[in-house]
Amino acid sequence: MNSEIDPNKVVTDYDLLKRNYQFIPDSKNADTEYQKKLFRDYALVDLRHYDKGKLGVRWRVRNDVLNSKGERVCGNVHCQNCFNLKTYEVNFEYKEQETKKNALIKVTLCKPCSQKLKFYHQQKRKRREEKKQLNLQQSQQILTQKLLIDNLIKSDKKKQKKKKKSKRKHKKSKEKEKEKEKRRRKKKRKKDKKKKRKEEFEKAKLQFKEKKVSSRKRKNYEQQTKHEDEN
């Protein structure tokens, strides 16, 4: 029988390394031969994928220490620059056996490599600042819009109040005019009544005078007739 090997079930050296490797070993794995060969004073970095924020880190071995790699030579694996070196303490975040871990490591880098190291975080900071500015602008726009709306509402309310006031004033003025008209009519009626009374009184006076004159005339006539009869 031919035994078929399933490639998914085959365990490679890389799988074993991935399972068991520890960047900072615990007390159980600290005394292994591999761990004893490592020098943890300075770390070496791989900055090929610096623009994506990915960083490869390993400890120095004997050859690196002898060649002063990471101490007097740039700590970037793909750089041999010996000038303008600067040591940085970097908080290295990594995933080990599906758990997130942090380690503070020392790295010596030249100026271009240090810029590469800072590049991703600088871009992140820039994006944050741009986002903040955008949010500020949006919030300012929203505030200005709210203020405009509030001002419009206030102006509308003022206009409505003014209209109401003007209507009230108009009503009051109309009512006053009506009252004035009523008073004027009353006065006119009173005057007309007085005039009528005066006219009636004058007529009565005239009639009375006429009656008096007629009675006097009658008396005078009677007296004259009597005198003529006697003669």
> Whole-prediction pTM value?
0.55
Summarised one tens digit per residue, pLDDT across range 3-52 is 454 556 677 877 777 777 788 888 777 777 777 888 989 999 999 999 88
Give the residue carrying structure tokens 């690196």.
64
> With the CA atoms of 123, 128, 129 and 133 taken in that order, what torsion angle do they form, in degrees rounded to the nearest 10?
140
| CA 226/CA 231 separation, integer angstroms | 9
C-alpha span between 203 and 207 (Å, rounded): 6
Residue with tokens 């997130």: 100
- Write phi, then psi, for 227 (nearest 5 degrees): -65, -45
SS3 11: coil
Give which of 146, 140, 147, 83 is closest to 109, Cα–Cα: 83
Q: What are phi and psi of 82, to 5 degrees?
A: -115, 0
With a cut of 70, say whether residue 217 has pLDDT above it.
no
Binned at pLDDT 50, 70 and 90, residue 228 comes out as low
